[in-house]
Chain A
Amino acid sequence: MAFSRAPETESQSIARALRRRDSEFIGRLVSQYHYRLLRYLVYLTSKREQAEDLVQETWLRVLERAGQYNSRLHFEPWLFSIARNLAIDDLRRRQRANLSASDMLVLEAGLEFPAADLYSPFLAAAKSEDAVRIANAMGALEPIYREALLLRFQEELSLEEIAQVTGAPVSTISSRIQRGLSMLRSALEGEADAI
């Protein structure tokens, strides 16, 4: 009796294409994830131009580390974690001259992205009245909360996947999302304190 092979999952197809250096598949993958990757990096770095450079670097790193991708896990968290590490490295390079040793330790923990410029990128991207308020709140939010909110609600990653991207425990991610949401609720209500 012949058994049919189980259909290949998306993660398995991606892993196989990366290993085989399938340029057609990888080209499609780049195109498919371009917007999400750019959006994540823009919100992370607050700089569109820097984010665009990092998008390409991220894909080059993906190609270099193709053999390390575990096809049992989703592709997005792996991709975003590479992008995040590159953004941290880039920031470290840019700020090295201006940072003290203690600042470097915080930076190496991946927690100290710059606060967003209030007029960019959030306000520029806000397409509704609520979004304008939220844009202001997001701009003022500490980067670790902002990142957790964006990964959960824009990228729709699970708490475990966000933990994988950021290297923080799930409980910490959960707290960051709660704290971030609390600040966004305050912004919508126009109150100084969270509900």
Chain B
Amino acid sequence: MPFESHARARLLLDQAVMEAISPDAQRWLHRHTEECAACRRYGELSRRAIRALDFFAFELDPAAALRVENAIRSRTNRLASTEFHGRRSFVGAVAAMLLTIAGSIAMWQPVAWLAGRCNLPSSAWQMGFAMLWLLPSILLGILPLFRTRLMGDDFGAEGKTV
């Protein structure tokens, strides 16, 4: 039997344990290994080695496994809660900004009328409007967005439990 046949057979035997080989290749390999004891042994040794890997097993400590599971569950819950608060703060901030805009539009005319009655110059009452109405509204609106950062982020604070 030519050397190339053995080389091809061993290449196919290696391929066959890693992934599927074509039916033609399978048939050829089957014929070859029926006739060639060395290649048949090569294939058997590969299969034995792979089977032996299946016999590796080690004891699992159920308590350690449970500790990991509980730690991950607890972290998941904390993340869910933080993300929920984050989303709620964002929605709150958007609502506050919209209310600020709407409120500013609604208040502009009455304040202008009042300033006219009190003979206040435009720049003065507009500055006052911005400082006493617009700025506090905007600050109150965006404050919740920074709440987590201001109060401290507890991500990563959890120690190892394993």
Contact = CB atoms under 8 A, between A and B. Distances in A.
A30 B69 contact: yes
Contacts, number: 127
B76 to A, nearest CB: 4
A2 interface: no
Given A30-B73, A56-B68, A149-B53, 11 more contacts: A39-B58, A52-B64, A124-B58, A126-B56, A127-B56, A128-B52, A133-B52, A154-B53, A177-B18, A178-B14, A178-B18
For chain B, what secondary structure do more than half of its interface residues adopt (helix, strand, loop), or is it mixed?
helix
B45 to A, nearest CB: 4
B95 to A, nearest CB: 24
B80 A34 contact: no
B132 to A, nearest CB: 42
B12 to A, nearest CB: 12
Interface of B: 10, 14, 17-19, 38, 41-42, 45-46, 48-58, 60, 64-65, 68-77, 79-80, 83, 160-162
B130 to A, nearest CB: 40
Contacts of B75: 60, 63
Given A26-B73, A125-B56, A188 B45 contact: yes
B52 A130 contact: yes
